[in-house]
């Protein structure tokens, strides 16, 4: 899938003529020829801004701290320099793992694996994607045969290392992808464990969509004098996306959704819900109304997720209901609509969600449903994006009570912070969305709380 030149989030880098190549051409990087051929086969003509800024320092063996979202071409930004190095320094005999890419979710790991395969199609390099929730045997077999690049989610990686199947002794590239999401999902301890297992001398890359203090702190713990690259500030939303909001009473959201999706001009849409149950409910309601849909979230089996995603990609499934974490990194061009069935309580998630549409140079529409309890979330989003959403009142279920009153600042209901110690069972069931554990099916691991046994009654 290629980004059209004009489709880059910040627009293409201004080409500066330099002989036959331009400063933003891949040729100007001096990458090995089979890699350039693979990039050309992918129909990438010029570098995206993140590539133009991150690849040169990476080729100079510098550590890089990059702030970039999915859709900006970040995967090629870190894979191309790694592949170039490996191609120039081929392993003799059974290859040892020389690059490790750590990602939060199985989907993202699989996508990085697909990209790696595409970029190395003319090279003899081996990779393996490793994540939990599936049989480990084929993964172990691949590790035994030897691989150059390992792309993994933290839980299964540590499990396999614990079982003695992984030797980190030759890793000289370490990539932490979607670091902010990793922390949100509670992977910090696993990340630190992995870092402690790696050789001291290595090149480090950290990619994150946002740069909160926690990421800056983590970065400073393992990056050495990093070059900082930023291409898509969190607060900027994609200009090609028409952003609308519809005010609706909570119980009427399902009717409004069915009504909207009966419109055949909605070619394909992702409906975002805050919780996994919410995503299931949406699918049920749509199916009842005769609209085919599938859900994708952390409670679904890996095969169900893969099937739903494949159906969505090939167009046989028009509607996908998703939670934030499961959708992260879904790279499908041509999604015409994003519907925020529930407004996200973290306003950055709104930016990620709507970024699923408007890709590859196409226009997109993002529609937010806002009920009476979500007014504060809407205000937060508009504060972050610095642009009011277009209000659509022309629908049967318009509910003016959910509209923010001018001059009033609404307070969001207190949210449970993820990963600040064990949650109380009651709040866990309330939050439902379950950030924890959506990642790779096996982590993060927590100590089971022991139940105290009641002493047996004395007889």
Binding footprint of ligand AMP on the chain (CB under 6 A) = 1-3, 44, 47-48, 51, 70-76, 331
Which is nearer to ligand AMP, 12 or 133 (by Cβ)?
A: 12
For 59-84, b/e burial (b = at least 16 CB within 10 A) is eeebbbbbbbbbbbbbbbbbbbbbbb
Bridge partners of 21? Answer: 18
Distance CA 454, CA 433 (A): 33
For the CB of residue 55, give the shortest distance to ligand AMP in the complex, in Å: 10
Yes or no: say if 166 and 157 are a contact pair by the CB < 8 Å rule. Answer: yes
DSSP type of residue 368: E
Q: Where are the alpha helices (DSSP H) in 60-151?
A: 74-88, 106-119, 137-145
Tokens of 131: 């994540």
Strands 337-340 and 364-370: parallel
Which is nearer to ligand AMP, 73 or 437 (by Cβ)?
A: 73
How many C-beta atoms surround the C-beta of residue 233 within 10 A? 11
How many C-beta atoms surround the C-beta of residue 374 within 10 A? 27
DSSP type of residue 398: B
For the CB of residue 70, give the shortest distance to ligand AMP in the complex, in Å: 4
For the CB of residue 446, give the shortest distance to ligand AMP in the complex, in Å: 31
Q: Which uninterrupted H or E stretch holds 320?
A: strand 319-322
Which is nearer to ligand AMP, 48 or 375 (by Cβ)?
A: 48
For the CB of residue 1, give the shortest distance to ligand AMP in the complex, in Å: 3
For the CB of residue 76, give the shortest distance to ligand AMP in the complex, in Å: 4
Per the document, the length of the chain is 459
For the CB of residue 353, give the shortest distance to ligand AMP in the complex, in Å: 15
Which is nearer to ligand AMP, 70 or 273 (by Cβ)?
A: 70
For 336-351, b/e burial (b = at least 16 CB within 10 A) is bbbbbbbbbbbbbbbb
DSSP type of residue 12: P
Which is nearer to ligand AMP, 75 or 340 (by Cβ)?
A: 75
For the CB of residue 241, give the shortest distance to ligand AMP in the complex, in Å: 16
Which is nearer to ligand AMP, 151 or 370 (by Cβ)?
A: 151
Sort 232 into a burial class: Cβ within 10 Å, 0-12 / 13-18 / 19+. Answer: buried
For the CB of residue 75, give the shortest distance to ligand AMP in the complex, in Å: 3
For the CB of residue 330, give the shortest distance to ligand AMP in the complex, in Å: 9
For the CB of residue 105, give the shortest distance to ligand AMP in the complex, in Å: 13
Which is nearer to ligand AMP, 111 or 139 (by Cβ)?
A: 111
Cα-to-chain-centroid distance, residue 402:
31
Which is nearer to ligand AMP, 70 or 443 (by Cβ)?
A: 70
Distance CA 309, CA 317 (A): 9
Which is nearer to ligand AMP, 208 or 442 (by Cβ)?
A: 208
Bridge partners of 102? Answer: 152, 176
Strands 17-18 and 21-22: antiparallel
For the CB of residue 143, give the shortest distance to ligand AMP in the complex, in Å: 25
CA-wise closest residue to 358 among 240, 446, 222, 274: 240
Q: Where are the alpha helices (DSSP H) in 179-337?
A: 179-184, 188-197, 213-222, 253-261, 276-288, 302-314, 324-327
Which is nearer to ligand AMP, 38 or 339 (by Cβ)?
A: 38
For the CB of residue 442, give the shortest distance to ligand AMP in the complex, in Å: 24
Yes or no: say if 9 and 231 are a contact pair by the CB < 8 Å rule. Answer: yes
Which is nearer to ligand AMP, 70 or 234 (by Cβ)?
A: 70
Which is nearer to ligand AMP, 107 or 331 (by Cβ)?
A: 331
Q: How many helices (H) and strands (E) does the chain have?
A: 16, 16
């Amino acid at each position: 899938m290629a980004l059209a030149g004009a489709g880059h989030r910040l627009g293409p880098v201004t080409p500066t003529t330099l002989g036959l190549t331009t400063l933003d051409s891949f040729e100007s990087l001096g990458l090995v020829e089979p890699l350039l051929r693979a990039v050309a086969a992918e129909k990438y003509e010029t570098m995206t801004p993140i590539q133009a800024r991150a690849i040169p320092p990476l080729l100079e063996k510098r550590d890089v701290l990059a702030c970039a979202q999915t859709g900006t071409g970040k995967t090629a930004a870190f894979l191309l320099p790694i592949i170039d190095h490996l191609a120039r320094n081929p392993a003799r005999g059974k290859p040892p793992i020389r690059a490790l890419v750590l990602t939060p979710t199985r989907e993202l790991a699989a996508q990085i694996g697909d990209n790696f395969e595409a970029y190395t199609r003319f090279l003899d390099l081996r990779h393996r994607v490793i994540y939990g929730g599936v049989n480990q045997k084929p993964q172990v077999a691949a590790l035994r045969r030897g691989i150059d690049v390992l792309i993994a989610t933290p839980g299964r990686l540590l499990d396999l290392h614990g079982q003695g199947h992984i030797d980190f002794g030759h890793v000289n590239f370490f990539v932490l992808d979607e670091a902010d999401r990793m922390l949100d999902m509670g992977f910090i301890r696993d990340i630190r464990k992995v870092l402690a297992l790696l050789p001291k001398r290595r090149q480090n890359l950290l990619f994150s969509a946002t740069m909160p203090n926690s990421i800056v702190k983590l970065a400073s713990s393992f990056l050495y004098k990093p070059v900082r690259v930023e291409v898509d500030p969190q607060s900027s939303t994609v200009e090609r996306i028409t952003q609308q909001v519809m005010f609706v009473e909570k119980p009427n959201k399902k009717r409004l959704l069915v009504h909207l999706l009966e419109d055949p001009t909605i070619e394909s849409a992702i409906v975002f819900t805050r919780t996994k149950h919410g995503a299931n409910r949406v699918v049920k309601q749509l199916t009842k109304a005769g609209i085919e849909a599938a859900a994708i979230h952390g409670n679904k089996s890996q095969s169900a997720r893969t099937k739903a995603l494949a159906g969505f990609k090939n167009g046989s499934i028009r509607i996908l209901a998703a939670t934030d974490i499961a959708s992260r990194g879904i790279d499908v061009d041509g999604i015409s609509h994003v519907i925020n069935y529930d407004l996200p309580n973290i306003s950055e998630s709104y930016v990620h969600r709507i970024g699923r549409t408007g890709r590859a140079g196409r226009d997109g529409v993002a529609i937010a449903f806002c009920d009476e309890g979500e007014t504060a979330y809407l205000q937060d989003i508009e504060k972050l994006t610095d642009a009011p959403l277009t209000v659509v009142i022309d629908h049967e279920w318009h509910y003016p009570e959910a509209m923010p009153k001018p001059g009033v600042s609404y307070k969001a209901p207190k949210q449970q912070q993820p990963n600040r110690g064990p949650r109380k069972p009651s709040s866990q069931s309330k939050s439902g969305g379950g950030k924890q554990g959506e990642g790779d099916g096996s982590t993060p691991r927590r100590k089971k709380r022991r139940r105290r046994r009641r002493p047996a009654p004395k007889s």
